[in-house]
Amino acid sequence: MKLLITIVSGIILGSAMLPGQDDELAKSIERGKMVYSENCITCHMGTGEGVTATFPPLAKSDYLTQNPENGIKAIKFGLIGKIKVNNVEYDNMMPNPGLGPEEIADVMNYILNSWGNDSKKNRITPEVVTAVKEKK
């Protein structure tokens, strides 16, 4: 039994020390949680449910999960006008919070991996954020 515990402990410890995509994603999510708390929680609430007919939900949001670029654009440039989220229309304004590419990537990773959203371990990077351009 001691041998089994030693082997299992070694596997867990060893896997925790291997840096990789999952580790970077986990770190980004943790940073993103802080960015969310400082910038997004007032409107989109602590569990991402938003406020019906006023602020769209981020939790289980088809608008974000089907096209994460929508969220990147909203955070990077702000958002004005009508959007449809989970078959509900929203027509409000979201100001640009003034975040840098790394903060936007982190908060997107947090949102896309919280409240029932599943990014399938695809990590948004600052380079992805920088590549997203505003449509004129």
Res 15: pLDDT: 42
Two tokens, residue 64: 């974000």
Q: 0.75 exceeded by the pTM? A: yes
Res 108: pLDDT: 98
Query: Can you tell me which residue has the tokens 């995509």?
Result: 21
One pLDDT digit (tens) per residue for the chain, 136 residues: 554 444 544 444 444 444 566 899 999 999 999 999 999 999 999 999 999 889 999 999 999 999 999 999 999 999 999 999 999 999 999 999 999 999 999 999 999 999 999 888 899 999 999 999 987 6
Two tokens, residue 128: 């992805």
> With contact defined as beta carbons under 8 Å apart, do 30 and 123 qualify?
no
Does the domain at 22-131 match CATH 3.40.50.720? Answer given as: no
Res 72: pLDDT: 97
Res 4: pLDDT: 45
CA-nearest of 105, 45, 42 to 72 is 105
For residues 25 and 128, give the distance between their C-alpha atoms in angstroms, rounded to a whole number.
Answer: 14
Question: Taking the CA atoms of the chain, what radius of gyration do you get in angstroms?
Answer: 18
Question: Domain residues of the chain, as ranges?
Answer: 22-131
Res 22: pLDDT: 85
Going from the C-alpha of 117 to that of each of 13, 48, 97, 112, 125, the distances in angstroms are: 28, 10, 23, 5, 18
Res 101: pLDDT: 98
**DSSP H/E element including 91:** strand 88-94
